[in-house]
Amino acid sequence: MLNDNTLERLTEMMELLANRVIQGNMGVTVDLLCWTPLAPLIRASRRTRIESNTHTIRLREKASALCEDATRDHADLLTPAWG
């Protein structure tokens, strides 16, 4: 018999796998819709999603670079003063 924590984790994993399958099927459906009169809407949606993802990636890269610079330039601030 599984304890509550294990059962909860297994349930979460199964939900995650099911969502991945659903998203994969949605991708196929959207690909098929590209051959219909809905194509301009699909393209606009994809373009918006790609631009949003690109913006997020660029912000993460900039933040990562700033953190690396701060860590390199001010490593003395990372050690406790009382140590």
* pLDDT, position 38: 83
Residues 29 and 1 in one domain: yes
* pLDDT, position 56: 93
Number of domains within the chain? 2
The range of the structural domain enclosing residue 26 comes to 1-33
Within 10 Å of residue 42's Cβ, how many Cβ atoms? 16
* pLDDT, position 42: 84
Determine, yes or no, domain membership for 10.
Answer: yes
Q: How far is residue 40 from each of residues 29, 37, 43, 49, 63, measured CA to CA in Å? A: 15, 7, 5, 14, 35
* pLDDT, position 61: 94
Determine, yes or no, domain membership for 81.
Answer: no
Determine, yes or no, domain membership for 80.
Answer: no
pLDDT, tens digit only, all 83 positions of the chain: 567 888 888 888 888 888 887 777 777 777 777 788 888 888 898 899 899 999 999 999 999 999 888 888 888 877 777 76
